Amino acid sequence: MPQYHVKYVFLFLSSALLFSSCVNLKHVTEFSKSAVESVETFETLSSSFSQTCLEDCQSKNIAALNIHQTDCDCSQNEEADRVTALIYHGLQGYFYALTNISDNQLTNYQTDGLTNSITSGNFGSIQVNEADVKSYSNIITLVGRAFTDGYRRNKIKTYISNANQPVQDLLHFLDLNLAGNLKNKLEVQKSSLKNYYFDLVRDKKLSTYERTKFAEDYFSRIQEIERQQNELAAYSKILNSIAEGHASLNSEVEKLSDTELKVALAKYGSQLKRHSTALLKK
Amino acid sequence: MGNLSAEQVKRLADNFMRMANALGDYRYNNIDSLTEEQNIKIKEIHNQQLAATTELYTKSAVLVLEDAQDALGKIDTITTESQELYKKLTNVQGILDRASSVLNLASAILALDVSAVTSSIQELVS
């Protein structure tokens, strides 16, 4: 085969490999990074099942004017916190893994060292030409990347589609525990406080000053509980955005480089940032 | 409780809360027509209802584990698999770096450069 034909074959092969291998998954990485960052705002939430249980127990002792033998059994609530944390860690781990494997840098292998190692020159009977060294090195990089990138892309598609249902379920259960069960436990706490303060504020045997103080205490505690409930509501929005974003990623998984998918993921990414900022301000 | 799902227990708790709040509202709205004894009794029952309700929410939260077990198992498997893939893909760079070190050593030997041989060996074993 004449020399120039070989060059064309190389050129064709290189271009074909370049097009098939350079799949930009930046939008997937960006979305999963936002998902990690926003799901981790879980750690900033100021309420928990066991904390609420301890507060309820303390209120009960205060109402009974009791400061002796005030031990509280909050073991079931500690268990509820463990269950909630387990689900949170499951989601956090998945989005970390998705961020790592979709990172373009992962298969952007550096072969500079390899090229520099094979210096051009005359080593006894071996003659090495610098241009050849660079060409071969580039081909090695392209072939290597095409293989690993194609493999990686197919694996990511499989992971995303297999993970979608469990991810949706876990997001739902985390939301059920936080925006459902914990938020409503706080609602019960508000009712219990009203039940306690109602008679004290109305008690005409107490001075106006004392009754006013009780009313002030009541409103300040209600305000604090509502702040915690708002945190949980804001976190619920984060979980919903992640669920929608992952569902959209899953439905377009066959077209990972599709522009519509990129736009949709960018939208969910900025939505997540907005919700996280709102939660951190509360 | 074993046969109820977390969602069902939560719905029960929601209904309990509505009933408890209705009783509480009755007391607050009719306080002037209640005797002291009646007021104390309703207050006590209301309190007990609220305590039972908060316990139900905790039960639901614990039961979530049973319902989420399957999803948790699946997501853990996928996470482990992708972590292994990540390691494999990172290893490719390691292999390339290793190959470069070996080639550095080979070039130095061919060029009979003693100092380069030493530094290449250091690079290889580091």
Asked if B32 reaches chain A (Cβ–Cβ under 8 Å), the answer is: no
- Written as six digits, the tokens of A264 are 């949709």
> For residue A161, what are the contacts with CB-CB under 8 A and spacing of at least 6?
A250, A253
CB atoms under 10 Å from CB of A178, counted, come to 25
Phi, psi of A88 (to 5 degrees): -60, -45
Query: What is the reported pLDDT for A120?
Result: 56
Per-residue pLDDT tens, chain B, 126 aa: give them.
447 899 999 999 999 999 999 999 999 999 999 999 999 999 999 999 999 999 999 999 999 999 998 999 999 999 998 888 888 777 767 766 766 677 676 666 666 666 776 676 666 655
Per DSSP, B4 falls in state: S
Question: What are the chain B neighbours of A107 within 8 Å (beta carbons)?
Answer: 89, 92
Average pLDDT per block of 10 residues along chain A, 282 residues long: 49 46 72 93 97 95 89 94 96 92 70 59 58 65 66 84 94 97 98 97 96 97 97 97 93 74 76 80 73
Query: What is the reported pLDDT for B45?
Result: 95
Q: Tokens 């050849």 — which residue? A: A132
- CA distances (Å), origin A209, targets A79, A212, B23, B36: 42, 5, 29, 24
Query: What is the reported pLDDT for A264?
Result: 74
Residue type, A269: G
Residue A272 C-alpha from the chain's centroid: 9
Query: What is the reported pLDDT for A123?
Result: 54
Q: What is the pLDDT of residues A97-114, one digit of tens each?
A: 999 888 866 666 666 655
Query: What is the reported pLDDT for A13?
Result: 47
Query: What is the reported pLDDT for B13?
Result: 95
Residues 193-212 of A with CB under 8 A from B: 194-195, 198-199, 202
Please name which of A96, A208, A94, A223 lies closest in space to residue A159, comparing C-alpha atoms: A94
Query: What is the reported pLDDT for A275?
Result: 80
Q: Which of B7, B79, B107 sits opposite A97 (nearest CB)?
A: B79
DSSP-derived secondary structure for chain A: --HHHHHHHHHHHHHHHHHHH----HHHHHHHHHHHHHHGGGGG----HHHHHHHHHHHHHHHTT--SS-----HHHHHHHHHHHHHHHHHHHHHHHHHHHH-GGGG----HHHHHHS--EEETTEEE-HHHHHHHHHHHHHHHHHHHHHHHHHHHHHHHHHHHHHHHHHHHHHHIIIIIIIHHHHHHHHHHHHHHHHHHHH-TTS-HHHHHHHHHHHHHHHHHHHHHHHHHHHHHHHHHHHHHHHHHHHHTGGGTT-HHHHHHHHHHHHHHHHHHHHHHH-
Hey, are the CB atoms on A114 and B65 less than 8 Å from each other? no
- d(C-alpha A180, C-alpha A104), whole Å: 39
The ipTM (two decimal places) reads: 0.78
Residues 221-280 of A with CB under 8 A from B: none
Asked if A121 reaches chain B (Cβ–Cβ under 8 Å), the answer is: yes
Residue type, A131: A
Query: What is the reported pLDDT for A17?
Result: 45
- d(C-alpha B91, C-alpha B77), whole Å: 21
- CA distances (Å), origin A277, targets A41, A57, A235, A246: 9, 33, 11, 21
Query: What is the reported pLDDT for A141?
Result: 65
The pTM score is: 0.79
